[in-house]
Amino acid sequence: MSTAARRAIERVAHSIHRRGLTHGRTGNLAVRDGDHVLLTPTGVSLADIEADQLSVVALDGTHIEGPKPTKEAFLHVAMLRVRPDLNAVVHTHSVYAAAVSCLADVDPDAPIPPLTAYYGMRVGALRMLPYFAPGDPAATSAVEEAARVTHALLLRNHGPVVAGVDLDSAVDALEELEHTAQLFFVTRGLATAPLTPAQLHAFAAPSERSPS
């Protein structure tokens, strides 16, 4: 397996934990490596991840080698299976995004309004999935369906799952989601001016734009 991919997971895992984007032994990362997926193992804090102690699974979720993978491995492989254009997935329990996932009065098709240009560029569309218990593979079909239309998901009463072309891009998008979730709470109850559909459309890749 790629040494560079292993080192990237170790570096990003430590950074995510150091900056408080997850806590305790929560959160997990994945990187596509050829026909396999490198994953953080179960029961290990992201602060303690080591490049030579990662799990390797197939795209169908079969454990190939290394320590037992995170119980949420299915989230990562489900996204990577349906998005061959993306190669990395980050899942955290970051405070503000997780808080949004607990609200009763948000639109599951747009749980966080597009308040900033960088949210439009890095996150774009966000979908919130129904509640599934952590580690419940029954969520697989819901993840696959949503991932076909967006790379950013919010798990109800849980936290965000964000994919990117590489690990750094996925983390950039996750951080922007978390920052905008914070803005959402700061401005809650106040009149805001989210980006318009036309403004968001300008950020979309040409293949994602609807015909004019």
Catalytic residues: 72, 118
Smallest CA-to-CA distance from 139 within 119, 164, 159, 167 is with 159
- Mapped onto helix, strand or coil, the DSSP state of residue 189 is coil
Count Cα atoms within 13 angstroms, Cβ side, for 146.
25
Distance set, CA 211 to CA 43, 82, 205 (Å): 47, 23, 13
Nearest of 63, 35, 64, 69 to residue 49 by alpha carbon: 69
In single-letter form, the type of residue at position 110 comes to: A
Q: How far is the first Cα of the chain from the last one, in angstroms, to the nearest whole number? A: 44
**Axis crossing angle, helix 140-147 with helix 73-82, rounded to the nearest 10:** 40
